[in-house]
Structure 1
Amino acid sequence: MNISVVIPLLNEDESLNELYDWIAKVMQSNRYSYEILFIDDGSTDNSWNVITSLCEKDKNVKGIRFLRNYGKSQALNAGFKEVKGDVVITMDADLQDSPNEIPELYNLVANEGFDLISGWKKKRYDSKIRKNIPSKLFNAAARKTSGLKLHDFNCGLKAYKNVVVKNVDVRGEMHRYIPVLAKNAGFTKIDEKVVTHQARKYGVTKFGIDRFINGFLDLITIWFLSTFGKRPMHLFGLLGTIMFLFGFLFAFYLGIDKLFLNPKGILITQKPIFYIALSTMIIGTQFFLAGFLGEIILRTKSDTNRYAIANKLNL
């Protein structure tokens, strides 16, 4: 199979038929073998009924329905587990991503050897305050921490080799940082392509201030996991050792001062430096134990389901 199109969605029933017709037209005109996988992330509108109707009409259409809303990352994770195409295309269901971009994205991955091509919505039609400015901040921070020189990490329109989506673990709200996850997994041929961005035709944006905050927290998580995820003791153990040594040196100085330099001076417990030394040694010990526990958890962890699926169609 040439292409798998993965489309996570939440309450987008008005756009689904139009999106399907558009994708099918592009696929058939280019004679691609394809599948379209809709992941309903707990929609409360008529989205699942529309997906069911499309699945009955076209066996190339497949559907997954979550029991409730788990988030875009979980929806992509579920879709990535099921895809069979050599090239995997992800796009949003709100018609802001153009299916006309699919042939060129496919060519870049299938014929030119890229592992991942990320869309760049150079000209946007979103609200500058609600989405443009936060996106610029996200992208600047992601470029700084990851070393990837992409302009638009959060663009939903991306193309991947099948092997990439099978080897990245998308969780939390890390869907916006999939290129970083791919790089950390060892895929280096990552680039971007300017893509058309269209104004929203139906419904309302799902962007809120909570996504802005969670996005930055997930970026910190990715940085930590990519740097110390396999060796937490290297961070916590180092910090703990340094802090404990500083505290010990302060305590040693107080002991020498009391025993030899100023034996008739004030009590050690009346000096502020005593409490600084004690606190530093305790915190250092806690850091060291945190690293030790992290190593134990890393070696004994077992994966757990992060979402529950209610229905599957044509899978």
Structure 2
Amino acid sequence: MNISVVIPLLNEQESLTELYDWIAKVMQSNHFSYEIIFIDDGSTDGSWKVIKQLSEKDTNVKGIRFTRNFGKSQALHAGFEKAQGDVVITMDADLQDSPEEIPELYHMIVKEQYDMVSGWKKKRYDSVVSKNLPSKLFNWAARSTSGVKLNDFNCGLKAYDLNVVKNIDVHGEMHRYIPVLAKNAGFSNIGEKVVRHQARKYGSTKFGMNRFIHGFLDLLTIWFISRFARRPMHLFGALGAIMLIIGLGFTLYLGIDKLFLNTAGRLITDRPQFYIALSTMIIGTQFFIAGFLGEIILRNRDDRKRYLVHDELNF
């Protein structure tokens, strides 16, 4: 199979049939063998009914329905698990991503041998204040922190070699950082393509300003994971050692001062350096304990699924 199109969605019943028709037209005109995997992330409208109708009409259409809303990352993870195409394309269900971009994305993976190609919505039809400016700030921070030089990390339209999606773990809100996850997994040949962005035709956006707060918190998480996920003791042990060295330094100073310099007979417990030494050694010990616990958890972690599937179609 040439292409798997993975589409996470939440309450997008108005756009699904039009999106399906558009994708099918592009696939058939380019003679691709394909599958379209819709992941219904807990929709409360008629989205699943539409997906079911499309799957009965066309066996290339497949569906996964969650028991409730678990989030876009979990939906992508479920789609990646089921995908069988040599190239996996992800796109949003709101018709703001154009299926006309699929053939070129496919050829960039197959012919130019990129591991992954990320779309860049250079010209956007979103609100400047609520989305464009925060997106620019967010993308700058992501580039600076991760070392992945992309202009648009959060574009839903992306193409992957099948090996990439089978070897990355997308969870929490990490869909924004899939390029970083791919790089950390050893897939460093990451490209970018300017793609067309279209104004939303139906409904309203499911994302508010809080997604950028979550995004920056996740950026800190991905920075930590990329550097210390395999050996948390490298971070916590280093911080603990620094704290202990500071504490021991003050302790040594107090000891020398008490034995050789303190002629007034001042008690050690009356001096602020005593409490600095005590606090830093306690904090240092806690950092070491955190590192040990991190190592233990890492070696005994339970990789249970982070979502529950209610129903599947055509798998």
The residue aligned with 1:8 is 8
Structure-2 separation of matches of 1:156 and 1:143: 17
The residue aligned with 2:48 is 48
8 Å CA contact 1:257–1:263 kept in 2: the answer is no
8 Å CA contact 1:145–1:223 kept in 2: the answer is yes
Structure-1 separation of matches of 2:3 and 2:19: 16
Q: With structure 2 as the length reference, what TM-score do the two structures score?
A: 0.99
Write the letter of the residue equivalent to 1:118: S
Which deviates more, 10-19 or 292-301? 292-301
Write the letter of the residue equivalent to 1:182: A
The alignment partner of 2:290 has SS state of helix
The residue aligned with 1:300 is 300
C-alpha displacement at 1:265, in angstroms? 2.7
The residue aligned with 1:135 is 135
C-alpha displacement at 1:206, in angstroms? 1.0
Structure-2 separation of matches of 1:279 and 1:305: 40
The residue aligned with 1:95 is 95
Q: How large is the RMSD of aligned CA atoms in angstroms? A: 0.8
> Superposed, which structure 2 residues align to 1:152-171 within 5 Å?
152-171=152-171
Structure-1 separation of matches of 2:259 and 2:111: 77
The residue aligned with 1:271 is 271
Structure-2 separation of matches of 1:128 and 1:260: 68
The residue aligned with 1:309 is 309
The alignment partner of 1:129 has SS state of helix
The residue aligned with 1:183 is 183
C-alpha displacement at 1:208, in angstroms? 1.1
> Superposed, which structure 2 residues align to 1:1-315 within 5 Å?
1-315=1-315
Structure-1 separation of matches of 2:220 and 2:242: 23
Count of matched residue positions in the alignment of Structure 1 and Structure 2: 315
Which deviates more, 134-143 or 79-88? 134-143
Write the letter of the residue equivalent to 2:40: D
Structure-1 separation of matches of 2:169 and 2:63: 21
Displaced runs of 4+ in structure 1, greater than 4 A? none
Structure-2 separation of matches of 1:298 and 1:50: 42
8 Å CA contact 1:130–1:207 kept in 2: the answer is no
Write the letter of the residue equivalent to 2:177: Y
C-alpha displacement at 1:260, in angstroms? 1.8
8 Å CA contact 1:117–1:191 kept in 2: the answer is yes
Q: Which digits, 9 at most, give the CA deviation of each residue in 1:191-234, with x for residues without a partner?
A: 10000000000000011122111111111111101101111111
Which 5+ residue runs of structure 2 have no aligned equivalent?
none
The alignment partner of 1:96 has SS state of coil
C-alpha displacement at 1:248, in angstroms? 1.1
Which deviates more, 63-72 or 249-258? 249-258
Q: Which digits, 9 at most, give the CA deviation of each residue in 1:16-65, with x for residues without a partner?
A: 00000000000000110000000000000000000000000000000000
Q: Which digits, 9 at most, give the CA deviation of each residue in 1:114-173, with x for residues without a partner?
A: 100000000000011111111111110111011111100100000000000001100111
8 Å CA contact 1:247–1:280 kept in 2: the answer is yes
Structure-1 separation of matches of 2:68 and 2:92: 19
The alignment partner of 1:35 has SS state of strand
Structure-1 separation of matches of 2:220 and 2:167: 21
Structure-1 separation of matches of 2:301 and 2:70: 22
Write the letter of the residue equivalent to 2:125: Y
Structure-1 separation of matches of 2:82 and 2:30: 23
Which deviates more, 178-187 or 208-217? 208-217
Write the letter of the residue equivalent to 1:22: W
The alignment partner of 2:159 has SS state of strand
The alignment partner of 1:69 has SS state of coil
Structure-1 separation of matches of 2:121 and 2:133: 14
Write the letter of the residue equivalent to 2:242: I
Structure-2 separation of matches of 1:149 and 1:305: 31
